[in-house]
Amino acid sequence: MTHYSNPVLDADWPDPDAVRVGDDYWLVASSFNRAPGLPVLHSRDLVSWEHVANALPAVPPAAHYALPRHGSGVWAPSLRHHDGLFWIVYPDPDHGIFVLTAEDPRGPWSAPWCLIPGQGLIDPCPLWDEDGRAYLVHGWAKSRAGVKNRLTVVEVDAALRRVVGPARTVVDGDELPGFRTLEGPKLYQRDGWYWIFAPAGGVATGYQVAFRSRSVWGPYEHRVVLAQGDTPVNGPHQGAWVDTPDGDDWFLHFQDRGVFGRVVHLQPVRWDDDGWPVLGDEGAPVLTHPTPAPGAEPGEPARSDDFASPGLAPRWHWQANPAEGWAVADGGGTLRLPAQPSPRGNLRDQGAVLCQQLPGQPSTWETRVGLIGDAPGTRAGVVVLGREYAWTGLVRTPGGVEVTVRRGGAHGDEEIVAQEPVPGGATSVVVRAAVDAEGAVTWGWRTDDGTDDTDDPGWHEAGPPWQAHVGHWIGAEVGLFASAPLGADLRPDDGGTFGPVRVTVAGKDA
């Protein structure tokens, strides 16, 4: 019998929700300001996952998200299958609740439409019940609405186009002893009960609760069904209840791991004699467990990229809605990023930073960086991006091309940590970012001799280790970029070129 170890997705896949249709499992996660957004993952066994698509090419309103809006955008989505369609319902806490559909989760997805406009409405989930009526449950963000810690249900039409009844608070966390920040509800129906699975107590310190009622409007009774206990899994948070074709039940939820983001765990579910779900090991998260499908081999989405196919793979996303020409990926094994004007030279301001999540285990990222252009200040490199960031790569100076390590924050100028001329006047180097188990980054570079010899003794350590930082509601990211000072005299080809990106996680190719 094969076993899996938690987390099954050891990277930042925040606020996961999932459904099973036939023998296939599909999962979506929050994407916030990043585009394309709403990542769609696929599995046949709940422990081996592939990132197959992104449902949202650009975040609406398009003009608003043409700039990085860190922490805004797509918050906790829900994913359902109904009437032959897949439905994603997601909140933008500044604009309202949106819906999009597809016949195939791999796409194409419809353009999103706004079901309920407004501020502070978060974490929506629809239910088409056994009586043919449709409902939506959601929570509240105090930062926008002035209230939180309550769950609201509203009746909507079956097409999720309009509200057809008044909204009612069905659970008020302020009336429950010890409850705070009740959020992330998922609405289900089973054995004549309406169920709401929802976490409370905060992202890093909370617990999972199950509510049930004979009426969607309540009153609801509740039990805490998953809590940290004596395990290292802090704050087991919101997720998805799914079943297998054989009738077994499982629960996917996240754990906040700081700089590594919200990683996804899988818990077995059984039902007690009173009809309540028992998650994990009698309510505590399991660390290892037999796989749902015998013989299943756990596996995570790919990270490396040889750029051998035209276009960008689903694993890549920008920090804002992309503009035409941000990337040239023709499938020839090289990615070109034309230099984008950067008014402050601060990468947190730059939408054209192409990123992936930082894996939750030690990882090494290597690629060949080339710099094209004579305008002073033009630069290209590899960045580890959070509320603060650091990068290594090439910069054009009045004296030529130099390899540099720099760091920056949300405000002010970047600090040069290390900088030296590239030997022989070359305009390309191979760079490396090695991230340890605590998120400390060691930067390195070597001259570009046209090979991919990772054992080359010519590696230079570039500056002291730097501790990665969390982002706004997300973990740290690893990205590629090219930029230039505002007003620089740039030609269309000026910018950065990147060879294949090789990623190893825990010493294995990823």
Among residues 194, 221, 244, the one where a domain terminates is 244
The yes-or-no answer on residue 455 being catalytic is no
Question: pLDDT tens digit string along 425-443?
Answer: 899 999 999 999 999 999 9
Residues 59 and 196 in one domain: yes
Residue 35, in any domain of the structure: yes
* Nearest-angstrom CA–CA distance, 81 and 27: 12
Catalytic residue among 183, 249, 402, 414: 183
Question: pLDDT tens digit string along 83-127?
Answer: 999 999 999 999 999 999 999 999 999 999 999 999 999 999 999
Residue 237, in any domain of the structure: yes
Residues 341 and 479 in one domain: yes
Among residues 206, 222, 244, the one where a domain terminates is 244
Nearest to 30 by CA among 102, 79, 103, 65: 79
Residue 319, in any domain of the structure: no
Residues 376 and 500 in one domain: yes
* Nearest-angstrom CA–CA distance, 265 and 371: 41
Residues 494 and 381 in one domain: yes
Quick one: what percent of the chain has pLDDT higher than 70? 98
Number of domains the chain is built from: 2
CATH number reported for the structural domain that contains residue 34 in this entry: 2.115.10.20
Classify the phi-psi angles of 37: left when phi > 0, otherwise alpha if psi is within -120 to 50, otherwise beta: beta
CATH number reported for the structural domain that contains residue 498 in this entry: 2.60.120.200
Residues 219 and 361 in one domain: no
Residues 365 and 240 in one domain: no
Residues 47 and 187 in one domain: yes
* Nearest-angstrom CA–CA distance, 298 and 426: 43
Question: pLDDT tens digit string along 369-425?
Answer: 999 999 999 999 999 999 999 999 999 999 999 999 999 998 878 999 999 999 988
Q: What is the pLDDT of residue 456?
A: 54
Among residues 244, 275, 304, the one where a domain terminates is 244
Q: Flag whether pLDDT at 452 surpasses 80.
A: no
- Residue pair 169/150 in contact (Cβ under 8 Å)? The answer is yes
Q: What is the pLDDT of residue 451?
A: 58
> What letters, b where the CB count within 10 A reaches 16 and e where it falls short, cover 381-414?
bbbbbbebbbbbbbbbeeeebbbbbbbbeeeeeb
Nearest to 359 by CA among 510, 166, 165, 144: 510
Quick one: what percent of the chain has pLDDT higher than 90? 91
Strands 37-43 and 50-56: antiparallel
Residue 80, in any domain of the structure: yes
Residues 224 and 109 in one domain: yes
pTM of the model: 0.96
Which residue range is the domain that position 443 belongs to? Answer: 335-509
Q: Flag whether pLDDT at 165 surpasses 90.
A: yes
Residue 271, in any domain of the structure: no
Residues 223 and 344 in one domain: no
The yes-or-no answer on residue 15 being catalytic is yes
Given pLDDT bands bounded at 50, 70 and 90, which one contains residue 457?
low
Residue 402, in any domain of the structure: yes
Strands 37-43 and 24-28: antiparallel
Residues 342 and 484 in one domain: yes
Strand boundaries in 312-427, DSSP class E: 335-338, 340-342, 353-357, 363-372, 379-385, 389-397, 400-408, 415-421
Question: pLDDT tens digit string along 129-147?
Answer: 988 899 999 999 999 999 9
Residues 342 and 236 in one domain: no
Catalytic residue among 10, 15, 17, 305: 15
Residue 314, in any domain of the structure: no
Residue 291, in any domain of the structure: no
The average pLDDT across 54-74 equals: 97
Q: What is the pLDDT of residue 450?
A: 63
